[in-house]
Amino acid sequence: MSRQQFSITSILLLLSILTSFTTATYTAFGFLIRRQQIDPQRCEDYSRTANFSTIGSNATYRAAYLDASPEGSDPARAPLDSAMARLPTLQFDVDLNAQCGNLTEVAFEGAETNFTQGIVLQFRVGSAPRIGPGAMGLAVVAATLVYAAVEMM
C-alpha cells in the first residue's frame, strides 16, 4: 500500500511541476499584453491646438478673444492662425485620437460652455450691452413721438 501511495504522490508531484513549467512558459511568451504608451505632451499639444483652432475658426469667439486680449489683435491672432493650420494633421491622426480621444469635439463643447459663462480661452469677456429701464422708457417715448409726428403729416 505504501508503494502505491508513493507512485500516486510521485505522479501528482510530477504533474504539478510539469504544469507550472508549461504554464509559466506559455504565459510569458503567449499572453504578454501590449500596452499603448500615452505621451501626455502630445495630448496636451493636441488639446491646446484644438482649443485655439476652435476659437480661431468661430467668428464670434475670435472677435471676443481678440477684443479681450491685452496684447492687441495682431499678436493675439498668430497662435489662432497657426493652430487652425495645424489642427487637420492632428485631428486625422488615428494613433493620436486612439491615445487621447477626440479632443476637437471636447474643445467645441468646452468653448460653447465657457462662452455662455463669459469666458474665451483665458480671458473673461464683457457681455453684450444691456438696456436699462431708464433707457427703455426713453426709447418708448421717442418711438411714440416719432409715430405721432408721422401720423400728423
Nearest to 123 by CA among 47, 59, 66, 75: 66
Residue 129 has pLDDT above 80, yes or no: no
Res 133 pLDDT > 90: no
pTM over 0.75: no
Return the pLDDT at 81. 92
Dist. CA 99–CA 42, nearest whole Å? 9
pLDDT band at 137; cut points 50, 70, 90: confident
Give me the mean pLDDT over the 41-62 stretch. Answer: 91
Domain boundaries, the chain: 1-33, 40-124
The CA distance from 138 to 149, in Å, is 16
CA dist 111 and 39 (Å) reads: 24
CA 148 to each of CA 51, 135, 137, 141: distance values in angstroms, whole numbers, following the listed order: 53, 20, 17, 11
Average pLDDT over residues 49-77: 88
Task: Please indicate whether residue 101 or residue 27 has the higher confidence score (pLDDT).
Answer: 101
* 57-85: average pLDDT: 88
Over residues 20-37, mean pLDDT: 53
Q: How confident is the model at residue 10 (pLDDT cuts 50, 70, 90)?
A: confident
What pLDDT was estimated at residue 120? 87
